[in-house]
Structure 1
Amino acid sequence: MTTQNLLVELFVEELPPKALKKLGEAFSSVLADSLKSQGLAAADAAVTHFASPRRLAVHVTAVAAQAADKAVSQKLMPVAVGLDASGNATPALLKKLQALGADASAVVGLKRAPDGKAEALFFESTVKGATLTEGLQKALLDAIAKLPIPKVMTYQLESGCELPGWSSVSFVRPAHSLIALHGTDVVPVQALGLNAGNSTQGHRFEAAVSPVVIPDADGYAAILAMDGAVIASFADRRAEIVRQLAAAAAKVGGGCKPIDDDALLDEVTALVERPNVLICEFETQFLDVPQECLILTMKANQKYFPLLDATNKLTNKFLVVSNISPEDTSFVIGGNERVVRPRLADAKFFFDQDRKKTLASRVEGLGKVVYHNKLGTQGERVERVRAIAKAIAAQLGDATLVAQADQAAQLAKTDLVTDMVGEFPELQGIMGGYYALNDGLPEAVAHAIEDHYKPRFAGDTLPRNDVGVVVALADKLETLVGMFGIGNLPTGDKDPFALRRHALGVVRMLVETEIALDLNWIVAAGGRALDPIKVKWKPEEFEAFGYNIQQLKEFIYERLAGSLREQGYSAQEIDAVLALRPQRLGDVAKRLAAVRAFAVLPEAPALAAANKRVGNILKKVEGEVPTAINPTLLVEPAEIALADALKTVAPTADSAWAAGNYAGNLQALAALKAPVDAFFDGVMVNAEDPALKANRLGLLATLHAAMNRVADLSKLAA
């Protein structure tokens, strides 16, 4: 079967830049997968996707003009239903064959084969392979229909170009041409009111010819670059921008480098067809404004790349990725410098105005900002955060930590009512830190105000000092306890209050800083802070609070389990440790290491199995089983030996536990393997004598408690 390479391009008006990369990948993958599933392309066919501001395209290697015929075996019905006692076809069988386009003569060719407990009749036929025109038409329509487009446009087709039955069409942007080339041959497919051809448009201003004719599928990228002045590949265009940015930064000198921002790079790649990086600058007076403000306004509003010096300080130079390459670039550079100046002036104005009022003077304004109808205003929320922060600080430090944590918690949200954060919400916290330093507050308090949103995302840093950790914990706990308390739980992929992120932040701070606080205690502290607002709730809401808070604790453990899985711990190890619901999350890593070390001991499998058996026995006992053992009721040699072994092991295990040596605690248990095995071989736990039975259950309860201080070892049983 001869094959040729295939090219499909859809030329449209400017596509949404933030979605372009995904659109290009989806268009190519769906179209290629459809061709492969129809047998027109091999499973290992190379697929290359192209995406520029005005086109989506895909190149697929070794595509056949027609798919190979396929043998199909179709089950009809059981033999007993299809054939009568004489072996003749029943009316039901004839009707089924007729529906398949066959007549009674096909009966003799039917295949009989086992189907479960009975035999069935199978109709074997050959299905003719799809032609490329048929298959590509289906693949193209599938690719268009499955594009991840949140919102489509409906537009009228140009007069004279519409196909029969087409007058308007719905798509992400108006489409103007379609290319479908199999080698050098145009495949006559249609889409969005367009007939396929072999021509497209190049750069709006710099194309050498118009239209750009693509003579064959393999020449697409080269011809479009030469005649159309367009780099069609998203990846190639992105790499060229990176290269030019680095070259421009090197030209500026001084160890300068463009800001590292993959999202900005992707967006700019989606805005230009042939990049041309230019060096621009602004007045140095604007550098008095915090660099985060300037960087954000240049990135978000203008899509510029600010230049940082060798110490990561902002310079007054920035890089522009232009879509045109004129001989005289002064007009482009001057235009961009004029455009950015008012943006920076606005930032400077906001900064200067905000500093005229202290953060403390803005606290009252938070009382006018609604946080949630059941949880009150931001002012009330701040008081709850203060209460939690003071409680945590009192447990962890001295009066200085309590005072600084209280001050930082009181002022942490005040930048929400500043002009700068009103214009750039992304700067909340950051601006609060700057304004705190401007107000002469201690550096520890200013840093805590800046850091109290951390960690904001996976991989983000934690607050840099103890005050920041306390306030960040308090802030996240207030959100979690408040939202869970009123039943505002995340569902499925919906989490409008980012509760998963808040819970993971709590987990990270408790684990990575090894804070000596129990999870139950800090959640209870959060619950107590809600007391002033609870009185406003309906009785049923108040009653549901306790249940919801218990759900919150489980929610936090789920986030912890997910984090541990990402770190490479096995499900068995995690289940064993978290089954005990350890209160000090900072101990979890040491417990996991101990479990991992224990699991490789030769005695581990037998002890884990025995632990599971003991647990199952104790579960069946009504009421609580005391761990006290009466030595006079130990009559069997095996139970005497087990009790003696426990006495021997206990001091070593207890000493290791008290020292936080969890691995030593578990390893001490290895000596119990032989007496435990002997106990189950030679002792009947459910003795007829109630006193003997109770004593043996007490012995097992003592054993169970000793074995499960670090982790639930039964989770390690196969």
Structure 2
Amino acid sequence: MTSSNHKANLLVELFVEELPPKALKKLGESFANVLADSLKAQGLAAADVVVTPFASPRRLAVHVSNVAGKAADQAVQQKLMPVAVGLDANGQATPALLKKLAALGAGPEAVPGLKRAPDGKAEALFFDSIKPGATLAEGLQKALDESIAKLPIPKVMTYQLEQGDGANFQPGWTSVNFVRPAHGLVALHGDQEVAVSALGLKAGRSTRGHRFEARVEKIILLTADTYAEQLQHEGAVIASFAERRAEIERQLAAAAAKAGSNLKPIEDDALLDEVTALVERPNVLTGRFEEAFLAVPQECLILTMKANQKYFPLLDTSGKLTNQFLIVSNIKPDDASAVIGGNERVVRPRLADAKFFFDQDRKKTLESRVDGLAKVVYHGKLGTQGDRAERVRAIGHEIVKQLSLATLPFTVEAQDHFAVLDSKVQQAARLAKTDLLTDMVGEFPELQGIMGGYYARHEGLRDGVAIAIEDHYKPRFAGDALPRNHTGTVVALADKLETLVGLFGIGQLPTGDKDPFALRRHALGVIRILVENNLPLELPALIAAAIPVFGELISNPAEHLLVFFSDRLAVSLREQGYSAQEVDAVLALQPERLGDVPRRLAAVRAFAALPEAASLAAANKRVGNILKKAETQVEAKVDEGLLKEAAERALYDALQAAAPKARASFEEGDYTASLQALAVLKAPVDAFFDGVMVNADDAALKANRLGLLATLHKAMNQVADISRLAA
């Protein structure tokens, strides 16, 4: 038994059949953290205890340092009822009070010890008691139940408990619901077993190691602290997910270096996590396949090796695939040739399938597949992929038109350039979705766009079109590269706008965490393309141009879509390190050209660093509030003849000098200079508010002073709403 004041390290392990590999990392973290948090909440563990999770294909476990054998008792004060209800006129306990005390395990003898204290308008009775701290057995049982109940299980299975002797014997058939059948439970506090149970199992101190390579059938754990060492030494298992992952990384690097000085394994964190969840004793081996397969696009070979076989393809220093790959085996035979040979035999048909798909697909042109898009449903309310391709083509044409207008006046050469660009955009948009009908993309949907680019190059399509077809889905994810040429940029913009306008137009908006059509990602893609390429395009005009191509299929989504874009942009900018104040100041003006936003933010940041900034921001906020409260719309217009006070004349003169400079810099796109030109206004603005009554009795004077403030407000808020910088 564990003594009440004894502290020791705790180890809990649930031994199960092979867990789902893609979920193992989260399962291990959840099991450990929820169990430890529950122990902390019950006073059995301090807030600063060290929690070490373990997770392998056949076990979830946690080691928690300095866990008490019993939690400290707690003084508890409980409100009972108002004094007027609990005591009669003679100060004797009422039946209601006695009943309440009985429910708390106390009798009439507790009445004299009750405390009286104000509670709102009346006095109430309070009962002081000592709540015994939980024993470790009680607390761990609660923590274990909670950690199992809260596991993020992807899919629950139902199984019957085993019949047998000893601790696991269960009379009759009992069903259990869990992620996988559980076969063992360990709970050790130091070197002592803790009497808990779960999933029909009673806790003990024995576990099992590797299915094939353990030195003993049962591992009898000596203490909580020898768990990892015994599993590795006696059971051939690296129990820690993190340590196993690091060991695989180390072996991958070593095997790659041995295979060739210029080789490296492909980087893929998700694959590394999945493989770590599949093996208990990693052993990295090197396999090969015939060089003839390298004629197939490397994306196809890499995907089939990663997705189907969990191999790590080896790349050279230029990122080109070689005919070698790394296998993470779960066994360490003295002679690994049979394991390597078996994996090489298994991968060959996979690569042969990819080669067959590639060869077959190239027998038909992309153009010959266009009509087939009319038979592929895109969305029940938005038609087929053929309809979608036509809409992307039409939107692409409008984008080119807006680009050409943004560069007016332009030369004959420029006109020819935009005509050629439009022609390439039309062709690329028409063919961009045709690879959806190929065998390769049918097998590997992740390759859409990429395969279209390969097939377009094979057909010898003109320069830029093949790249545009390949790139029109970009950026596919956060941090992905943008399209590499003008044609691809336009088609990618058109494709994302078609998706956003269409789905918003039929009411398919993202809600909470649900975004089945990845509309947030599409919006961020549009933002990145416009901002990072500094395109001379205005977002409202782009959306307006996309809406008519849908005809009567949709309602006008422009208002909702612009708010959605603004929200996405704000989130993105804050993630890039801009403060909420900086972002609010710029986006408050709803800039239509997103390419300007980074320069506006830089200008706001530079302005905020000026000594005059805080005062001007506060004044700007004050001006805005005054103008909002005005009875009528105030025009930014001043009658010099009505400037009576020296302070208002001084502010007017300062504005006459500073505003043109700020305006000129703004029109040249030098937003930093535009804002900094306003710094000279600090003193006259302060003097104005100190010495001038805006709400004068004379209506003409009042209107003129409001007009002066409106002129000031207009001059100060061209780049951003600097009132948002006020504390």
How far apart, in 1, do the equivalents of 2:673 and 2:261 lie?
A: 55
Q: CA deviation at 1:114?
A: 4.6
Q: What residue in structure 1 maps to residue 651 of structure 2? A: 642
1:349-388 matches, cutoff 5 A? 349-388=356-395
Q: What residue in structure 2 maps to residue 286 of structure 1? A: 293
Q: What residue in structure 1 maps to residue 334 of structure 2? A: 327
**Which residue, out of 592, 603, 627, partners 1:583?**
592
Q: Residues 108 and 627 from structure 1, CA distance in 2 versus in 1: closer, same or farther, beyond 3 angstroms? A: same
Q: CA deviation at 1:178?
A: 1.1
How far apart, in 2, do the equivalents of 1:466 and 1:6 lie?
A: 61
Specify the SS of the correspondent of 1:18: coil
Q: Deviation string for 1:597-626 (max 9, x for gaps)?
A: 222333322322222222223223455433
Q: What residue in structure 1 maps to residue 106 of structure 2? A: 102
Matched, 1:492 2:492: no
How far apart, in 1, do the equivalents of 2:473 and 2:632 lie?
A: 47
In structure 2, give the amino acid aligned to 1:293. C
Q: What residue in structure 2 maps to residue 182 of structure 1? A: 189
Q: What residue in structure 1 maps to residue 160 of structure 2? A: 156
In structure 2, give the amino acid aligned to 1:70. Q
Give aligned-pair identity as a percent: 73
**Which residue, out of 466, 473, 496, partners 1:446?**
466
Specify the SS of the correspondent of 2:678: helix
How far apart, in 1, do the equivalents of 2:290 and 2:28 lie?
A: 40
Q: Deviation string for 1:660-716 (max 9, x for gaps)?
A: 121221122222223323333343434444443333332222121111101112212
How far apart, in 2, do the equivalents of 1:11 and 1:432 lie?
A: 48
How far apart, in 2, do the equivalents of 1:30 and 1:421 lie?
A: 42
Matched, 1:248 2:255: yes
How far apart, in 1, do the equivalents of 2:363 and 2:331 lie?
A: 44
In structure 2, give the amino acid aligned to 1:63. V
Q: What residue in structure 2 maps to residue 570 of structure 1? A: 579
Q: What residue in structure 2 maps to residue 13 of structure 1? A: 17
Specify the SS of the correspondent of 1:379: helix
How far apart, in 1, do the equivalents of 2:31 and 2:95 lie?
A: 48
Q: Deviation string for 1:241-300 (max 9, x for gaps)?
A: 111111111111141111111111110111111111111111110000000000000000
Q: Deviation string for 1:182-224 (max 9, x for gaps)?
A: 2222222111111111112221111111122222222111111
Specify the SS of the correspondent of 1:17: coil
Matched, 1:674 2:683: yes
Which moved further from structure 2: 161-170 or 391-400? 161-170
**Which residue, out of 20, 40, 44, partners 1:36?**
40
Matched, 1:470 2:490: yes
Which moved further from structure 2: 287-296 or 65-74? 65-74
In structure 2, give the amino acid aligned to 1:356. K
Specify the SS of the correspondent of 2:49: coil
**Which residue, out of 420, 431, 451, partners 1:400?**
420
**Which residue, out of 311, 314, 332, partners 1:307?**
314
Specify the SS of the correspondent of 1:23: helix
In structure 2, give the amino acid aligned to 1:65. G
Q: What residue in structure 2 maps to residue 410 of structure 1? A: 430
Matched, 1:435 2:442: no
Specify the SS of the correspondent of 2:677: helix
Q: Deviation string for 1:153-199 (max 9, x for gaps)?
A: 11111123344687111100011111112222222211111111111
Q: What residue in structure 1 maps to residue 711 of structure 2? A: 702
Q: CA deviation at 1:472?
A: 0.9
Can you give the 5+ residue segments of structure 2 that lack an aligned partner in the other structure?
A: 405-417
Matched, 1:223 2:230: yes
1:558-637 matches, cutoff 5 A? 558-621=567-630, 624-637=633-646
How far apart, in 1, do the equivalents of 2:480 and 2:217 lie?
A: 49
1:101-140 matches, cutoff 5 A? 101-116=105-120, 119-140=123-144
Q: Residues 622 and 350 from structure 1, CA distance in 2 versus in 1: closer, same or farther, beyond 3 angstroms? A: farther
Q: What residue in structure 2 maps to residue 655 of structure 1? A: 664
How far apart, in 1, do the equivalents of 2:530 and 2:208 lie?
A: 58
Q: Deviation string for 1:135-154 (max 9, x for gaps)?
A: 11111111111110132111
1:227-238 matches, cutoff 5 A? 227-238=234-245
Q: What residue in structure 1 maps to residue 69 of structure 2? A: 65
Q: Deviation string for 1:490-534 (max 9, x for gaps)?
A: 111111110000111111111111111111111111113223xx2
Q: CA deviation at 1:16?
A: 0.2
How far apart, in 2, do the equivalents of 1:428 and 1:157 lie?
A: 47
How far apart, in 2, do the equivalents of 1:717 and 1:164 lie?
A: 72
Q: CA deviation at 1:81?
A: 4.0
Q: What residue in structure 2 maps to residue 206 of structure 1? A: 213
How far apart, in 2, do the equivalents of 1:216 and 1:485 lie?
A: 63
Can you give the 5+ residue segments of structure 1 that lack an aligned partner in the other structure?
A: none
Specify the SS of the correspondent of 2:578: coil
How far apart, in 1, do the equivalents of 2:231 and 2:638 lie?
A: 87
Q: Deviation string for 1:103-152 (max 9, x for gaps)?
A: 12112222334545654432111122222211111111111111101321
How far apart, in 2, do the equivalents of 1:5 and 1:629 lie?
A: 79
Specify the SS of the correspondent of 1:59: strand
How far apart, in 2, do the equivalents of 1:459 and 1:381 lie?
A: 27
Q: Deviation string for 1:414-460 (max 9, x for gaps)?
A: 11111100100000111111111111123422111111111111111
Q: Is the 8 A contact 1:166 1:193 kept in 2?
A: no
Specify the SS of the correspondent of 1:197: coil
How far apart, in 2, do the equivalents of 1:654 and 1:185 lie?
A: 79
Q: What residue in structure 1 maps to residue 481 of structure 2? A: 461
Q: Is the 8 A contact 1:254 1:309 kept in 2?
A: no
Q: Is the 8 A contact 2:161 2:170 kept in 1?
A: no
In structure 1, give the amino acid aligned to 2:625. N
Q: What residue in structure 1 maps to residue 530 of structure 2? A: 510
In structure 2, give the amino acid aligned to 1:709. Q
The two structures have a TM-score, normalised by structure 2, of 0.94
